[in-house]
Amino acid sequence: MPSFSPNAKQQFLNSAGGPLVAGKVFTYEAGTTLPQVTYTSSDGSTPNTNPVILDTNGEASIWLGENAYKFVVKNSGDVLVYTVDNLTSAASQIAELSEPNGSSFVGYLPAGTGAVATNVQEKLREIVSVEDFGAVGDGLTDDTLAIQTAINYVQEISSGQIELHFDAKTYRIAGTLNISGMVRLIGQGAVDFSNARPLTIPGKGTWLIHASTTGPLIQVSGNLNKGAGLFDIAIFEEGHATPGAGWVPAVRDWVIRVENTQGTLLLNRVHFHGVYQGVLTDYAARLQYENITGQFFYRGFSFDRVYDIGKFDGLHAWTYWSEADSVLQWQQANCVEITLYRVDGLWMDRIFTFAVQTSIFVDESAYGTSKVIIINGLYSDFSNRAIVVDSAQPVHLQVSNMFHLGQAWPPASPANALPGSCSIDIASGSNHLVQVSNLYDTLAESHAVRVAGTNNTLWIGSGIFTQYSRGTVCGAITVAATNTVRFGSVPLLNPYAGGLPTLFNGTPGGTAFEQTRQVTVSEAVNYPVTYGNAAGQLVAYTVEGEAAAGVSVIAKTTGVVNIAASTNLLGFYGAASTARQTGVAVTAAGIHAALVNLGLIAP
């Protein structure tokens, strides 16, 4: 059946697709057999015959009146070709197209061979947008209700879309958006990394403004939203003071609260622009957080009751909101980027933090502590501590590669270490197992690694410790009693000026092992650290908490003590600050003869 334009000269075709020569068009009222007149021109002055007789091209000028028509088309032999019902004039069609369902009258054919025809209404309904429900996106209008209505629609329909789309606009949210079903918020991109920092906001892409001073921007809860998430969206938090002397951020709730979901939440390419607290996740499974960027002031991410294997792949916490000294100094004193409480197994990869108090803090909650944590890459820059374990219950932590710089902000020359800075701090607890394949720590106030608690074991495959002992004369590592540190290879040591070029120096009682390819050497940490300096002196340093140290050279029961010098001369000196000779330098043979004369040894 051909398409039909009722108010213009129209060609009618036969069943073979050719012109319907001398065909007949009978016109009736829609849905009836009552004849209804048509016209030869648009002014309606001359009626057509009924039926209208087509010319040799199968054409005729047919103009409709205001009412709807039914056309019955026959050939010259009065054989029915087809029937068209409910035809209206152009004015009536325009009115129909203006109705809410008018798009259903407009056809749509996608490009390409084999494409299936549909109508505009069906095509547009393939994507649900927040604009469909009245969201404005001008950065000023409160779009909370419109977006919540859109969320409700998507998550309540039994089948069809799970995606809710946002335009490249800025949407102001003065309340909380609640997600309790399967819905994914899809934006148009989060941030343009080619821009200089700090970024101008609102920037390119889709931005949500967290305008409420109480409550989260997004609350995710319930057990029906497995697979819900956010993609390609930036979030900006209002209300923080302009950076300057004495700056502190405004206290805010978590931007996103994921609570009691029992399922997977997806975050991908989400940007947090200057937020007090980022994402709280409590009671979820198999979460997937990927390609996250942002600047967090107080807390970045907190995980509790995260079951099964979760994935946190890619965090770049940088100075997107501000790189002012006052802001970064506040972060270095207060910000914990990732806090881990009770997690079954969490796989983290490509974690970069900048100017924080602690990059990863492992603690415990009323539900327990972390069982297995795997970190493939951690870069902790200008941070006080890279990893802290402070749990009474055992933790198993595996780290492939990590770097820590404990430098205070702003940078100075010589560089200043943050008070208490170190790369790994096992602060308390018992029976923790921490494995680090490759560790590079630079600029620690005292020890680069601290192990407290009891019966904890730290393995380090290869280690580089530079510029440790910035504020205290000590070695690279302190290990408390009953704890053990093991090395897979001899570490590289380069202390800050005044530090000890020794690996261990700490609270008495711990044990550390240095493993080479051929021999294992054990060094007990509950003895003073000794080493020979460039002046040829044997120097002893006390362990922490003791006032003095002496040096005793004692052989085992069957051992021999050899004392020798390159000149084969021995000297005996007093303890005065200016060395004075108290004996006579003699040869080894002279000493031997004197001892024989005294009857102390055999000739």
- Which has the higher per-residue pLDDT, 577 or 242? 242
How far from 526 is each of 15, 465, 469, CA to CA, in Å? Answer: 103, 21, 19
> Which residue in this structure is represented by tokens 């942002």?
294
Q: How confident is the model at residue 121 (pLDDT cuts 50, 70, 90)?
A: low
Mean pLDDT to the nearest integer, 260-289: 91
Question: Could you tell me the pTM of the whole model?
Answer: 0.74
pLDDT at 54: 93
Q: 510 versus 409: which is more confidently predicted? A: 409
Q: What is the dihedral of CA 138, 143, 148, 153, to 10 degrees?
A: -50
The number of residues making up the chain comes to: 603
Report the CATH fold assignment for 128-309. Pectate Lyase C-like (2.160.20)
Residue 255 and residue 216 in contact, taking contact as beta carbons nearer than 8 Å: yes
CATH architecture of structural domain 9-107 = Beta Complex (2.170)
- Say whether pLDDT at 219 is over 70: yes
Mean pLDDT on 373-391: 96
Please give the pLDDT value at position 44. 84
Q: Tell me the C-alpha distance between 572 and 586, whole Å.
A: 10
Per-residue confidence band for 603, with pLDDT thresholds at 50, 70 and 90: confident
Residue in 511, 375, 393, 501 with CA at minimum distance from that of residue 448:
501
pLDDT of residue 595 exceeding 80, the answer is no
Q: Which pLDDT value is given to residue 419? A: 93
Question: Residue 204's closest CA among 239, 231, 233?
Answer: 233
Give the model confidence (pLDDT) of 537-587 as tens digits: 665 655 554 555 565 666 656 666 666 555 545 554 444 444 444 445 566
Report the largest interatomic distance among the alpha carbons of the chain, rounded to a whole angstrom: 154
pLDDT tens digits for range 38-59: 998 888 889 999 999 999 999 9
Residue-averaged pLDDT of the chain: 83
How is residue 242 annotated by DSSP?
A: P
Lowest mean pLDDT among 94-108, 151-165, 170-184: 94-108
CA distance readout (Å), 226 to 46, 74, 180, 185, 309:
67, 59, 9, 14, 15
The 10 Å Cβ neighbour count of residue 399 is 24
| Helix (H) / strand (E) containing 97 | helix 90-97
517 pLDDT above the threshold of 90: no
Place of tokens 């009245």: 134
Q: What DSSP state is assigned to residue 547?
A: S
Would you say residue 68 has pLDDT above 70? yes
More confident residue, 308 or 544: 308
The residue-averaged pLDDT of 63-77 equals: 89
Sequence-distant contacts of 202-206: CB under 8 A, at least 24 apart = 202/139, 202/170, 202/234, 202/236, 203/234, 204/168, 205/168, 205/232, 205/233, 205/234, 206/166, 206/167, 206/168, 206/169, 206/171, 206/232, 206/233, 206/234
**Can you tell me the mean pLDDT for 18-46?**
91
b/e code 523-548 from CB counts within 10 Å (16+ = b) = bebeebbeeeeeeeeeeebebeeeee
CB of 442 closer than 8 Å to CB of 466: yes
Quick one: pLDDT band at residue 525, thresholds 50, 70, 90? Answer: very low
Among residues 469, 472, 371, 479, the alpha carbon closest in space to that of 424 is found at: 479
469: exposed, middle or buried (Cβ count in 10 Å: 0-12, 13-18, 19+): buried
Angstrom CA distances, 382 to 163, 385, 423, 427, 535, stand at 39, 9, 11, 20, 36
Answer for the pair 424, 399: CB distance below 8 angstroms, yes or no.
no
3-state secondary structure of 88: coil
Q: Which residue, among 147, 221, 211, has the nearest Cα to 185 in the 3D structure?
A: 147
- Give the model's pLDDT for residue 157: 82
Highest mean pLDDT among 78-82, 214-218, 305-309, 480-484: 214-218
Give me the percent of the chain exceeding a pLDDT of 90.
53
**pLDDT score for 565:** 54
User: What confidence tens digit (pLDDT) does each residue in 317-371 have?
Assistant: 999 999 999 999 999 999 999 999 999 888 999 999 999 999 999 999 988 888 7
String of DSSP letters for 4-42: --TTSEEE-B-TTSSB-TT-EEEEEETTSS-B---BSST
Judged by average pLDDT, the poorest of 35-44, 155-164, 274-283, 507-516 is: 507-516
Per-domain boundaries in the chain: 9-107, 128-309, 558-603
Do 364 and 389 meet the contact criterion of CB atoms below 8 Å apart? no
Q: Any idea which residue has 């069982």 for tokens?
A: 371
